[in-house]
Structure 1
Amino acid sequence: MVNKLTLPGENRTLYTYQPRQIAAQFKLPSGKPFKKRIAYSAVHVVCDPLANTDPLSNGQIDWDATMQYRHYLWSLGLSVAEAMDTSQRGMGLNWDRAKELISRSIKEAKSVDGNIASGVGTDQLAPGPTVTLEDVEAAYEEQCAFVEGEGGKMIVMASRALAACAKGPEDYERVYRKILGNVSQPVILHWLGDMFDPALNGYWGHEDIDDAMEVCLAIIREHEANVDGIKISLLDETKEIKMRRELPDSVKMYTGDDFNYPLLIKGDEQGYSHALLGIFDAIAPAAAAALHAMDEGDLTTYDALLEKTVPLSRHIFQKPTFSYKTGVVFMAYLNGHQDHFRMIGGSESARSITHLAELFVMADEAGLLRDPDLATERMKLVLMQAGIR
């Protein structure tokens, strides 16, 4: 029997919570790819807790556990979006470490015929007053060449350096024209809102989202043959639907909206979004089961499975949104995918114990704790570190 927990509530109060006795059962055809949607999970990394290095500046990765988690996602039919912001790219994971991560993951993907795309950006280039557009182009080209050299597909991430040095839309058009004109296969573009990264405020040369969207759409139309799709993370379903309807027919929309993904993936009479989501790391079995149900034409099950995950996702991605990685890794810890709750950059401390307790309850209510006994024992350990017994 699962033991009760003492959890923190509002205003320093404590209350007793009884976790579920059994986990939800998800219908998961092993390794079977989805037919109606492409679904990438932006995936976290597992840090090495025993590495005797400074976790803030030189956090080390547990390669075995990190690769095992990618194999777990592939076994569910999900694709992997590697070295993105969910992997703490630019927030603990630097380009040198990202190169090794990308190289290892591409090799593992090939061993099981798993689908993978990797993030390319300019994070080897620190934004500053002396950075030029030529510097940004060279940084992008270096990363593109590396991923293509590894035989991988690319997700062209938004650039902090470009956001800092661009004078207007024409500078974005110039840089993306240079990058997209030289890729060997179609790429996924990535528009990350400033709620995920404040340094990207005003991306595409405009703070107004509609004006920025027009610049982005113009770039896509000019380079349609080299753009597989675009992932937008604006947490505004109306903006995503508007842009989706204006994309060229050959260009896919990949939702990055961790608040409204069930509706956006389901779509409407004018189209739908594929998925490239950080929350799919945390809710992988429910997401995979829902997409398999969609393939079978069972939208009732699709709705029921994903509806239960939305409160959890909105909690994990609450402001400050960029701290969502803490919740994603905490879910992996609770579910036994890693033996500890430590993160590169010390990011396990980015959320409060009350936030983590609420996360536990929401995950339990959604049936996403695959071994309630294990999850409860691990929650107890985290609570004890906060002085709660």
Structure 2
Amino acid sequence: MPAQDKPYRLYRGGRVKGRVPLARSSSSGSKNRPPGSPITAEPSTPKRRRIGRWVVLGLVLLLVLIVAWGVGSYLSVSGGVSEANDRVPAGVDRLLKKRDGLLVSTPTTILVLGTDGGDRAGRQGANRSDSIMLLRTDPGKRRLAYLSIPRDLQVEIPEVGVAKINSANQIGGPALALRTVKDLTGLDVNHVVFVDFDRFEELIDAVGGIDVDVPRRIQSNRFDCPYKTAAQCSAWKGWRFARGKQHMDGRRALVYSRIRHNLLHPSETDFDRARRQQQVVAATLDKVTSFGASLKLPFVGGDLVKPLATDLSAWELMQLGWVYFRADTGKALHCRLGGDPATVGGESVILGTEDNVSTIAMFTGRSAPLPPPRGVPYAPGCVIGDRRL
């Protein structure tokens, strides 16, 4: 082999034959290396160990923060829930049918009863049920079903007689209202949530307000004037809401849910008002179960249950929140009872029909949902998703 073709090893002192590859060394290590020694790479193990320690430390810190957040959230919510449990009137618990199993896996029926102005002395109709709704969860199908019961529906109130269903709460409190709903629908109720709408705005403000999609423009009659002087209220023409999605604080959301007369659409019925209340409740649930609100739970958890009286424990409320979070709201079932409008004893009432029985079967999933017939404003029925009911 010619001399110029032979491989060489490179030393600091010169060239030597052999097949040893060239290696590099750091400039810091070359200062103390004796002449003639080969150039070799320094090990990177210490650097890798330092990076590994920082990764482990970061994961431990993240775990500690998650545990602290979870404990803080639970303690904050449980303190408020304990007070909410104490607000449930006597006699309600024995009317509930408790179920075995977790709420995250077991279908559950919950009565949501809203009262308007229960703590305002002298208000006519105070403590009457302003919103009556059954919520049914089906975690296996990731589906929620809502059944609205119009407050003017004429029913048989146990031990009282025939009257509007919203008067049951005023006559005998939540226990009688619960008995009336059970007798009307023939359904077992597993849990109850009583909502004080006078304090509902506190909950909405605690989560930073809600987003509501207003289906059409609204101008209300004059109630709950936002001004302080009589002259300003006299010149005021009522609350106004534009069409479309908009952000509302607690006060404005509460007003939206209470509007009885839309001067721009006089044909609206009490069903439209009930739908607005459902929108506010659903938007609030969306906000409460959002990621942003979850981060605030250690600080606002107690405020979220101030407007409520419920038999649900803190653990059950958290399960219910998870069921709502996982549910496909686009496939939610919205049902309502109804009937024929009439005037009885000088009062406007709704006389129930046999179609209410079919609607209850739709609500429980025993039959396919059918919408109310067009042109019959008080007819019962069910729709899927966000379509107008």
Q: Shorter-chain-normalised TM-score: which range?
A: under 0.3
Q: Please report the TM-score for the alignment, with normalisation by the length of structure 2.
A: 0.24
Question: By percentage of residues, which structure has more helix?
Answer: 1
Q: Radius of gyration: which is bigger? A: 2
Question: By percentage of residues, which structure has more strand?
Answer: 2
Q: Please report the TM-score for the alignment, with normalisation by the length of structure 1.
A: 0.24
